[in-house]
Amino acid sequence: NDAYAQTGDWVVLPLQSITAATLTPQRRTFYFDLPDEPRVAIKVRRTSEQSDDQYIYDEVVWAGMHGHLSNVAPLAPTVTHLEVRIRANEQLSGTSQRKIGVVWQRRLRTWSPDGGFTDPVPTRNPMWALLDKWTDCVYGDRLPLDRIDLNSLYAIAQTCEERRDRLDIIFDTRVSSFEADATIGRVCRSSPMRRNGLRSVMRDERQDLPIAAFTPRNVLEGTSSYQYMQVTDETADGVIVEYFDHNFFDWLEIECPQPGKTVMNPADPRYNPALPMMENPVRLQIAGITGPVHAEREGLYQAAANALRRKYCRWQCELEGSLVYFG
């Protein structure tokens, strides 16, 4: 029962005999069918006396007991289950389960203004991963569709397809919801945001049309200022991107100098002797990037942003400030 007390009589199972003439340990597995599916207690007794002869090895060790139910096990429909059979030998241990790996591919819904949602399809696009994270009712934010800016997601998803920006990541540690959004968007220079009650996303790219204009008519007098971040000897002149390579299944790094600099390794095919070598790079680990071309592209972007975006402006205004957001 629930207190682990025996409620029935013992039942004797058929006698099993083991005979062998070898120094190699022998393993045996015996199967017994029970008439129903009870909660059982098992005890094993040896029926022969153990020999005291030094040339005879007849020690018996009971390794374990497993129960196999005849009915189908209840499996979670939102989880992929793997069943593995391993032959028992002297090298089998508890660490073996951590040495099993799979090459997997996620299947998510995609969306378009004309066709709406599709069935789950294989995709590595970061925007559809972000949409799945926002809408999923098991592990996501459980947001209704009327609170998501689908058009912005679709536009950036098309850009990701053109540039082959991919997201290959597993969230196996607990992080905040907003931190997970930022991690997904970082691989394609995008920043998820909350705007007017909607979840939206904005990509850092050139904009042809201005969003808003601020002139002396709507800037409060005496509140505007400009600040220039001067370049010093300690200013980073490049980025070393660390990424998990999909071919070597290990963390690799790639040098990304700022404009006007070259890589530090002369053996690198990208080395340019006509340019000064970067001397003070900063390390940046980007989760979700698994290709060297993608990692180099984002590293050069970060290095150029650090070198060229060194002017900061600040001002105060009235209600016009509520219209402004990132991008």
pLDDT one-digit tens code per residue, 111-123: 999 999 999 999 9
Q: Which tens digit of pLDDT belongs to each residue from 47-72?
A: 889 899 988 888 888 888 888 877 77
Q: Which range, of 29-33, 142-146, 198-202, averages the lowest pLDDT?
A: 29-33
Angle at 192 (CA atoms; ends 235, 206), nearest 5 degrees: 60
Assess whether pLDDT exceeds 90 at residue 203. yes
pLDDT more than 70, % of the chain = 98
Q: Span 209-224, mean pLDDT? A: 87
pLDDT at 271: 96
Q: Which range, of 81-85, 159-163, 177-181, averages the lowest pLDDT?
A: 81-85
Q: Are 244 and 290 in contact (CB under 8 A)?
A: yes
Assess whether pLDDT exceeds 70 at residue 182. yes
Q: Which range, of 50-64, 77-91, 191-205, 215-229, averages the lowest pLDDT?
A: 77-91
Assess whether pLDDT exceeds 80 at residue 240. yes
pLDDT at 283: 95
Q: Span 291-318, mean pLDDT? A: 93
pLDDT at 233: 81
Q: Span 140-162, mean pLDDT? A: 96
pLDDT-derived band of residue 97, with 50, 70 and 90 as boundaries? Answer: low
pLDDT at 168: 95
Q: Are 239 and 282 in contact (CB under 8 A)?
A: yes
| Higher pLDDT, residue 139 or 98 | 139
CA atoms of 291 and 295, how far apart (whole Å): 6
The 10 Å CB-count burial string (b at 16+, else e) for 50-61 is eeeeeeeeeeee
SS3 letters across the chain:
CCCCCCCCCCCCCCCCCCCCCCCCCCCCCCCCCCCCCCCCCCCCCCCCCCCCCCCCCCCCCCCCCCCCCCCCCCCCCCCCCCCCCCCCCCCCCHHHHHHCCCCCCCEECCEECCCEECCCEECCCHHHHHHHHHHCCCCCCCCCHHHECHHHHHHHHHHHHHHCCCCCCCCCCCCCHHHHHHHHHHCCCEEEEEECCEEEEEECCCCCCCCCCCCCCCECCCCCEEEECCCCCCCCCEEEEEEEECCCCEEEEEEEECCCCECCCCCCCCCCCCCCECCCCEEEECCCCCCHHHHHHHHHHHHHHHHHCCEEEECCECHHHHHCCCC
One-letter amino acid for residue 133 of the chain: K
Q: Which tens digit of pLDDT belongs to each residue from 244-281?
A: 999 998 999 999 999 999 999 999 999 999 999 999 99
Find, among 192, 248, 223, 193, the residue nearest to 314 by Cα.
Answer: 223
pLDDT at 208: 84
